[in-house]
Structure 1
Amino acid sequence: MNLNYSYFPGCSLKGLGRAYEESLLPVMKHLGVEMQELDDWNCCGATAYMSVSEEKACVLAARNLAIAEQAGAQDLITPCSACYLVLNKAKHAMTDSPAIRDTVHRALGAAKLTYSGKTAVRHPLDILVHDIGLDVVKEKVVRPLKGLKVAPYYGCQVVRPYSTFDDAWNPTTMDRLLKTLGAEVVPFPLKTKCCGASLTGTIPEAGLRLSYIILKEALRRGADVIATICPLCQFNLDGYHDQIERHWGNVRIPTVYFTQLMGLAFGLPAKQLGLHRCLVPLRLPASVAPIPSPATPTQP
């Protein structure tokens, strides 16, 4: 299989969310997917900037779309949930609002860029399930995650308001992917509930309580680990256990990226997947086979 995409990492995957990129790149390469990082990409403005100035936020996001289109990209892989949402919002705003479209085109023109709207913004889950296919993923599994109980947590941004590749209220792409890896997916009704997002930095108690509710429910459901697709969700659910424990008690459970679980199932080394960055370490059950050793070359 030889699939080629442009790749917009966004700021998080170069900073606190670097474990996402560290696992995404080798997993995609293992599947034969080529991802070319956009040259000179800029911050998308994240979701907060939309409430400050929708037009300026769209200009920021559209510059990345224009660069991708200029590079000949039909599809742009965008793993960060906030980036995925903002880039899609910019595309929709340019279609729905002539005023925003004109502002964006004038701004892009000043930078000698154009954007016609052809480049699609795609999430890795969408690519994995609908372009690559779960049958191909299953062929790469050498270390099935048998006995690992996983709570799939999507967060609130990837499937709402644009449910372009999954259901807005009960997404299942990650569930199906995790089952393909051999994991046991626990029913998780809070899979699209907000984790607290930036509230943890503005109204801490409100944000922390939202994270606590998700962590507590995952434990109540018997999960060994939460799998997420969002850098901010991973940070919130992994990074505030001390504060949460002081308010509501111990709900420690590891939260990892779904790509890290994919890498483990493919037999890739844990450190190569950024698992050493987790504050609550992932402990695999004894039923998960050890990483297979490389085959010994046959002596002539």
Structure 2
Amino acid sequence: MKYAYFPGCSLKGLGRAYEESLLPVLRHLGVELQELDDWNCCGATAYMSVDENRAAVLASRNLALAEKNGSTELLAPCSACYLVLNKLQHHITEFPDLRSTVQTALQRAGLAYSGTVRVRHPLDILVHEIGLDVIREKVIRPLRGLKVAPYYGCQIVRPYATFDDAHQPTTMDRLLTTLGAEVVPYPLKTKCCGGSLTGTVPEAGLRLSYILLKEALRRGAHVVATVCPLCHFNLDAYHEEMERRWGPVRIPTVYFTQLMGLAFGLEPQQLGLHRNLVPFTFPIETTAA
């Protein structure tokens, strides 16, 4: 299997542990990624509120580059990147004026986009293309005894439930179970973590993250698994501030790809686990109540 790969800004910065774990895990499964040459920031979700047309043009350049290279499927691991590129494809189909604006701008840069590139998320490819049976065969160190709260965030299944249910997604649940982990019931799996509010309106943003962590602990989870660099940052970086405001809530947050890597027998250092602010180790050492 071969896919064009759009890492986005986060996987080259604060979310580099996501890329550090994603790439070896996919190689282990026989998936080849070709990173887009000269890719640019997708604009995330903020630029759309500044100038929707320019935001669309910015994102469309990446799809045009993928199409120019002959790619039909583009892997976008970051939740914001996945949402922006997915939304763009819908919007240029639904709104002719926006499509015209995008095409005019791309033509000035010597590019064009005809809509042939399909934006994919790693969970979609892992579960629906590679398959859980194949993944199960690659597990040499099952995550037995590990209780995981699967946290999807609010962007990869809404507003477009392209590969999973918008309110009760299960792809990560099934994947983690295949790795041998115990998935705890986690009803907040698509509730917002606060996003950028942690930096702009801290009281609101931190409270949303605190609620997610508190519920994971209440459900008996040892760790929260996520798919989003911003969600990971919010849930990993502010424990001291949350505990100062509302009380103990310490629990590690990792990328689902890091848990996959551990189950495949890869070393923690290969998977970026040393970058966590709240340390995570497996096997889990538990203390009797």
TM norm structure 1: 0.94
SS in 2 for 1:35: strand
Please say if 1:66 is aligned against 2:61.
no
Percent of aligned pairs with the same residue? 75
SS in 2 for 1:86: helix
Consecutive aligned runs of 4 or more in structure 1 exceeding 6 Å deviation: none
Q: Could you tell me how far apart the structure 1 residues matched to 2:283 and 2:21 are?
A: 21
Q: Could you tell me how far apart the structure 2 residues matched to 1:106 and 1:201 are?
A: 36
SS in 2 for 1:227: strand
Corresponding residue for 1:207?
Answer: 205
Give 1:286 deviation, angstroms. Answer: 5.6
Q: Could you tell me how far apart the structure 1 residues matched to 2:206 and 2:163 are?
A: 30
Give 1:262 deviation, angstroms. Answer: 0.1
Please say if 1:251 is aligned against 2:249.
yes
Question: What is the count of residue pairs matched by the alignment?
Answer: 285
- Offset from partner CA, 1:200-223 (integer Å, 9 cap, x none): 011011000000000000000000
- Offset from partner CA, 1:50-77 (integer Å, 9 cap, x none): 1111111110000000000111111100
Give 1:172 deviation, angstroms. Answer: 0.1
Corresponding residue for 1:278?
Answer: 276
Distance 1:286 1:208, change over 3 A: closer
Corresponding residue for 2:78?
Answer: 80
Corresponding residue for 1:293?
Answer: none
Unpaired stretches in structure 1, ≥5 consecutive residues: 288-300
Give 1:283 deviation, angstroms. Answer: 2.7
Corresponding residue for 1:10?
Answer: 8
SS in 2 for 1:256: strand
Q: Could you tell me how far apart the structure 2 residues matched to 1:269 and 1:51 are?
A: 41
Q: Could you tell me how far apart the structure 1 residues matched to 2:38 and 2:196 are?
A: 27
Q: Could you tell me how far apart the structure 2 residues matched to 1:84 and 1:229 are?
A: 11
Q: In structure 2, give the amino acid aligned to 1:73.
A: S
Unpaired stretches in structure 2, ≥5 consecutive residues: none
Give 1:285 deviation, angstroms. Answer: 3.2
Contact 2:222 2:284 in 1 (8 A): no
Q: Could you tell me how far apart the structure 2 residues matched to 1:216 and 1:145 are?
A: 23
Give 1:109 deviation, angstroms. Answer: 0.2
Counterparts of 1:1-300 in structure 2, within 5 Å, are 3-285=1-283
Q: Could you tell me how far apart the structure 2 residues matched to 1:222 and 1:160 are?
A: 27
Q: In structure 2, give the amino acid aligned to 1:200.
A: T
SS in 2 for 1:243: helix
Which moved further from structure 2: 93-102 or 183-192?
93-102
Q: Could you tell me how far apart the structure 1 residues matched to 2:211 and 2:63 are?
A: 36
TM norm structure 2: 0.98
Q: Could you tell me how far apart the structure 2 residues matched to 1:55 and 1:94 are?
A: 11
Q: In structure 2, give the amino acid aligned to 1:191.
A: K
Q: Could you tell me how far apart the structure 1 residues matched to 2:70 and 2:137 are?
A: 31
Q: Could you tell me how far apart the structure 1 residues matched to 2:282 and 2:22 are?
A: 20
